[in-house]
């Protein structure tokens, strides 16, 4: 199950992009973000067929819309943003050292230039280590939160399946199901069950 994976992947990719010092130097001009697109209201829910013994659930929707899923995503996002801020600060230090070397190369002694170059190498190594540590920390948090979420999700699905007399519950998005009657979607029920258990 790949819950929360897109957010962590985006965060890790963002962190990985911060490593090369030339990226910071080139990324001085940023375009304003696009205005958020308005999402259309969800279609009206169809009544669940009374004799149905199978159903499906969209686990990504459960992770995105349930209270527990949103809280877990928020924790991953906060950690990612915190680590990204630290790495950006270190990148700015590196960029300042590069500019100092370029602007003062003619007036600096060879010893001062060598010392500044060593400082830049140390900063670059620090940035790489910080990035690796951040990726590991985000991955560890993601695994922990995913395990905790599954511990709540599976019993919620069990309760919905038993209450509806289901024999099978399929997962949307895992590559096995191509089409299903939308009335068999129990995703809203699972979200409601999770949220009521959380409260």
pLDDT (tens digit per residue) in 10-55: 333 333 333 333 333 333 344 556 666 676 766 688 899 989 999 9
Q: Give the pLDDT score at 36.
A: 66
Average pLDDT of every residue of the chain: 83
Q: Which residue has the tokens 């659930």?
A: 57
The dihedral through the CA atoms of 74, 79, 83, 86 has a sign that is: positive
d(CA 191, CA 60): 11
Q: Give the pLDDT score at 19.
A: 34
d(CA 81, CA 68): 20
Q: Give the pLDDT score at 140.
A: 98
Query: Considering only 2-6, 137-141, 148-152, 159-163, which range has the smallest mean pLDDT?
Result: 2-6
């Amino acid at each position: 199950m790949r819950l929360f994976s897109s957010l962590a992947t985006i965060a890790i990719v963002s962190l990985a992009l911060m490593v090369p010092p030339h990226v910071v130097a080139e990324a001085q001009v940023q375009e304003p973000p696009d205005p958020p697109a308005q999402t259309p209201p969800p279609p009206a829910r169809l009544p669940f067929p009374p004799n149905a013994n199978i159903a499906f659930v969209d686990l990504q929707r459960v992770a995105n819309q349930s209270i527990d899923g949103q809280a877990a995503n928020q924790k991953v996002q906060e950690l990612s943003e915190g680590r990204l801020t630290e790495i950006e600060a270190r990148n700015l230090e590196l960029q300042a050292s590069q500019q100092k070397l370029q602007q003062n190369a003619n007036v600096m002694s060879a010893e001062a230039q060598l010392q500044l170059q060593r400082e830049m190498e140390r900063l670059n190594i620090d940035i790489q280590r910080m990035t690796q540590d951040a990726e590991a920390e985000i991955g560890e948090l993601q695994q922990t939160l995913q395990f905790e979420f599954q511990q709540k999700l599976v019993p919620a699905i069990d309760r919905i399946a038993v209450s509806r007399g289901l024999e099978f519950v399929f997962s949307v998005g895992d590559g096995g199901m191509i089409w299903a009657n939308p009335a068999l979607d129990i995703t809203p029920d699972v979200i409601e069950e999770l949220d009521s258990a959380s409260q």
